[in-house]
Structures are given as structure tokens and as C-alpha cells.
Amino acid sequence: MVYIVLQRAAREVLARTFGDEGTELGPAETVADLAAYVARRETERPRWVWDYTRRWYPSLLAGGVRVERCVDLRLSHAIMRNSTLTAGSALATSPRSAWDYSLVVDEPRVRDEALFDFDEADPIGEPDAAAEFLLQREAIAASADPGRIGLLLAAESAGALIACEMKSAGLPVDADTHDRLLTDLLGPRPRYGERPAKLEALLDVMRGILDSNDVNPDSPAELLKALGRAGIMATSTRSWELKEIKHPVIAPLLEYKKLSRLMTANGWSWLDTWVADGRFRPEYVPGGVVTGRWAASGGGALQLPKQIRGAVIADPGWKFVVADASQLEPRILSALSADRRMAEAGRGDLYEGIVASGAVKTRAQAKIAMLGAMYGATSGESGRLMPALTRAFPQAIALVEAAARAGENGEIVTTRLGRSSPLPGSEWQAAQGDAYGEAATPQTAARARGAARSWGRFTRNFIVQGTAAEWALCWMAGLRGRLWSLAEDQALDRPHLVFFLHDEVIVHTPARLAEQVVLEVRAAAVDAGRLIFGAMPVDFPVTAVTVDNYAQAK
DNA sequence: TACCCCAGCGCG
DNA sequence: AAAGCGCGCTGGGGTA
């Protein structure tokens, strides 16, 4: 494997080539035309090593240059700084440096988005990418499990490439259809600052029932008061609480809230702001969530409501292949814990399998029980089902229980591939101290216990959600390679990823290749399971459908 | 005016 | 069903 480390200098880019052993191959090169250089050396199939993919790759993509693989030094650094698999390495024990700052929200240098669009060196000074690269290679080599951490870093870096490519391609959104969907539900687009007809009509109905002409349903505090005056003693205006109340105003109010939400979050102004040239281009943020899931910013990409998915329409002659990993997190749990009985139950529909095992009576119960096991439910139906689930699958439940105990004790937990949880913050530590200190009271003890359990629920879920995120990254990285091989056209004329949502992807593909894409999506899922869990016989079935618009996928 | 926090709800 | 995990966005309402 050849690694080419790119480094911004004052006016140009410096490229240094390294071999597997960390030995430098040949002299450093000064690069004037980066896109041309990368395109030329990409034929060697190197790993491009750079500080931050989002800083380098968009301009390459804009120049028509796609790369197969990279090392994102900042994302890799963030993982190895915390991972129990690299604890004790020079990287993990060194003081915080520039390599630690990019993912810290409060860090002033990243507040300025322009920094990343800027094709020049950071005026504050460029950290030495080659030195960091060698430090990382050393940490991987000395790791307790180089294979796992290496796979995680490769998958994370592939994710960084995919995030840029998806933004570059964009998700196709049809403005006219979006407008029609809104008009059907809300009435025609109102003038700025006005409510659409449907909301206005519902408001009239509510005001009539409440006998109040100035109630503002958009203000929870005001609404609560108005409900109180009408004799409705709710403690909040949350929909699920209102649903339990029998009163004529509830039905129009719930409908108002639903439609109002659509209007504000994904209405006309959403389209104006976030969709341009028929494409929705959110900023995906790999590693943006503490568990390793992606975050996104700009238009709420990961919350695209079902109501408007019909406006996500494939180009003429193209299709969407919408694929999601069925029941991913419980399957991850059975693989992580090597619980063969749960793996057996997951041969087909996992929840039906749990019913067949005799643990619970209905599919709905199986689902609630599994969610409770992974989230740490203690009460309600979910809590009541736990003992039966534990009897049926002791090995799987023991794994999440151990993770919960670790968190309650303030310890770290680690995913399958090596992403470790953060330590609880100083407030948490202080609360634990208060429970035993001289000033301890029943109140401080209860607060400490509550905080401990809460952190335990976090670590319990961390290993499952985090390992599921690793699976999804491996799935998507493998799929990206497979899609690329399906055609010989220009990048955007080949099948390509346009959307990712934790356990679901959308591929935009020429219609003639859709059937093949479905096969690749499934094959990539099989690969991902093998890569991460080896011979452990856990199935990761994928539901994949070929559609013209996103709403047609269930 | 510019921020910050909260309540509420969308997604997995 | 409304207890338990992780997010981002909006409008309201407060403070500086």
C-alpha cells in the first residue's frame, strides 16, 4: 500500500509518499495543480492522507476527480485518542494538539465555515500531517487489536469520502411535487408571515371551542393556560399527553400541531433555503455523534419526514434503490454477545423468532422488550418483559447489563471495532462524590444514583448503537466500491449513493442497473457482517426496493 | 439587536 | 405505549 500525504504550504501543496513500513518513498513533491496530480497518481490506488476530508475532497470532486480511499487524520485521531485499543500509545498520551480540536464544537477555529472552503493554508499554522500520520501508524501497530482498529479507521475514512460525494451529488427533490404535497395538506402557499388556509381554519375551530380569540397555539405556555381556562388540566402540550384527554378541542389541536410542524420544518421556506437546482445538499458529519453515528446539518437531513418523501423523485430514466438493514440493532446485539439462540431467532424476522422462542407472546411485545433491553427500560410494559427476555437470551442480555454496570461505575465501554465511550463529565463526578461526602443527604444520594443509572443507560446503548454504526459504515463503504464497478461512465452517470440514514441508504441509479444495484446492496451487507463478526452466524438481511420516489419505499 | 435556552417533534 | 438511547431544527420567550 502506498500512502500519499498531502500538506498545505503557503502557496502550494506538498505531497510526500510513504510505504507500509512508514518509510518515505522518494522526495517530497511540490504540487501546483492538485486535481491533475491526484488524478494522475490515483492510478497507483494509494491511500490519500489528509487532515480533514471535507477540506480537500469537495474541490477535487468539483474538478471531476474521485479517489478510491483515504486516511482522514482528524477522524482517525479522534477515535484513537479515546479508544481502549490504543490506550498507552504516544498518540493517546500526548497533550491535546491541533489534531484534537476539529471536532470540538466550542473550538473557535472551526466556527468559521469558510476555513474549509478556503483553498489556502491555515494562517494560524498547518499542523504536520506526515508526522501525525506516522504517529497514527505506530498507534495502530502497537494496538491491542490492529485488525479491528484498522478496519474502523478505514471505514470511518471511507465514510468521510462518501459524505462529500453525497453532498456533491445531492438528493433529487422535485420542487413542484413538494409544493403540491404541501398545498394538498395545508392549502396554497400563504404570503410571508401568514398561516396557510388549513391552519387558519383549524385555529378558528379551536378558538370557537375554547371561546378565546387570541390563543396562540404556537406558544406552549400560552396554549397550556388557554387549555387550563377551558378546564383541561394538562401538564404539558406534548401530543402524546394531549391524546389521552377527551375534549372536543383536542382533535383539531393535534391536527394543527402536526401540520404546523410540517409547515415550519419542511415547508416552502425549507425548500427555498435548502433545495437548489433540484437537489437537497445537506452537510453530512461523519463521526458527528458520540456513538459514531453521523450527524448532519442544514435542512435536517436525518429527519426528512415521511409526509414529503414523495417529493424525492429519481431523474427521468433513473430509479432509486432504497435499502435498509432490518432490525439492525438487535441483530448487532446478538452478534456482539455471540448469543446463538438469539442469532437463531434472527434467521427470519427477528421479532417473530423471539415469539417462536417462547419468551414473549406477540411480535409487538418482542419489539418493545428488545428496545427496552437496548435502552435500559425499567418500568412500563418494556420493563415487565425484561425477565422473560433475560431467561430466553441470557448471553445477549448479560452483555448489555455489563455495559450498563460499567457506565454506572463511571467506566468506559468500547464497540466491537474499538470506538470507546467518553468518561462522564465533571458534574457527574461531583454528584457521585456528593453521595458519599460529609454533606451527603438522601437527596444527594438519590441524585447521584439517578445520574449513575442514566450514564449506565448511555453506555448500555453505546455499544449497540456504536457497533451498528460500524456495521453501517462497512456496509456503505463496500457498497460504494461495488457501485463504482457497475459502470464505466463519469461519476454521476454511474449508480451512486445519495442518502444515508443510520441503517438505510438510497442509491440513485440508471434504471437499467437497478436490479444489479439491489444485488450489490445485499452482498455488501453480507460482507459487512463477515468483516466485523467473522464466522459468527448472524444474518443481516436487507430490505431493498426499486422505486421512482422515496415515499414508495414503505 | 444578538444571543441562549426550552419545549416540542421529526428521524433512526 | 408514551418508560429507556442518539440526534437537529424551529419558534417562543427570556436575557444582555
**pLDDT of A496 strictly over 50:** yes
Please report, rounded to a whole number, the percentage of residues in chain A having pLDDT higher than 70: 96
Mean pLDDT score, A177-188: 96
Contact assessment for residue A181 and residue A271, using Cβ atoms and an 8 Å cutoff: no
Nucleotide nearest to A237 (CA to C1'): B8
Task: Burial-class residue A466 by CB neighbours within 10 Å (0-12, 13-18, 19+).
Answer: buried
**pLDDT of A64 strictly over 90:** yes
The per-residue pLDDT for range A96-153, each reduced to its tens digit, is 888 987 543 333 333 333 344 445 556 567 889 999 999 999 999 999 999 999 999 9
Instruction: Answer for A327: CB within 7 Å of strand B.
Output: no
Q: Which fold would CATH assign to domain A283-327+470-553?
A: Alpha-Beta Plaits (3.30.70)
Specify the pLDDT at position A540: 95
Specify the pLDDT at position A536: 85
**CA A512, C1' B9: Å apart?**
39
**CA A316, C1' C5: Å apart?**
40
The per-residue pLDDT for range A366-407, each reduced to its tens digit, is 999 999 999 998 888 888 999 999 999 999 999 999 999 999
Smallest Cα–C1' distance to nucleotide C11: which residue has it?
Answer: A218
Nearest-5° angle of CA A114, CA A117, CA A123? 65
- From residue A329, give the alpha-carbon distance in Å to each of A73, A367, A412, A415, A528: 28, 11, 20, 13, 14
**CA A468, C1' C9: Å apart?**
25
Smallest Cα–C1' distance to nucleotide B11: which residue has it?
Answer: A303
**CA A172, C1' B2: Å apart?**
36
Enumerate the domain spans of chain A: 3-169, 176-269, 283-327+470-553, 329-464
Specify the pLDDT at position A371: 93
What does the alpha-carbon distance between residue A213 and residue A223 come to, in Å, rounded to a whole number? 12
Nucleotide nearest to A458 (CA to C1'): C5
Smallest Cα–C1' distance to nucleotide B12: which residue has it?
Answer: A502
Specify the pLDDT at position A144: 93
- The set of cell numbers assigned to A52 is 480533514
Please report, rounded to a whole number, the percentage of residues in chain A having pLDDT higher than 90: 82
Q: Do the domains A283-327+470-553 and A329-464 sit in the same CATH topology, yes or no? A: no
What does the alpha-carbon distance between residue A340 and residue A395 come to, in Å, rounded to a whole number? 9
A329-464 CATH choice from 1.10.150, 1.20.120, 3.40.1350, 1.10.4100: 1.10.150
Question: Hey, what amino acid is at A248?
Answer: P
**CA A308, C1' C10: Å apart?**
17
The confidence band for A440, taking pLDDT boundaries of 50, 70 and 90, is: confident
**CA A364, C1' C2: Å apart?**
15
Beta bridge partner(s), residue A543? A324
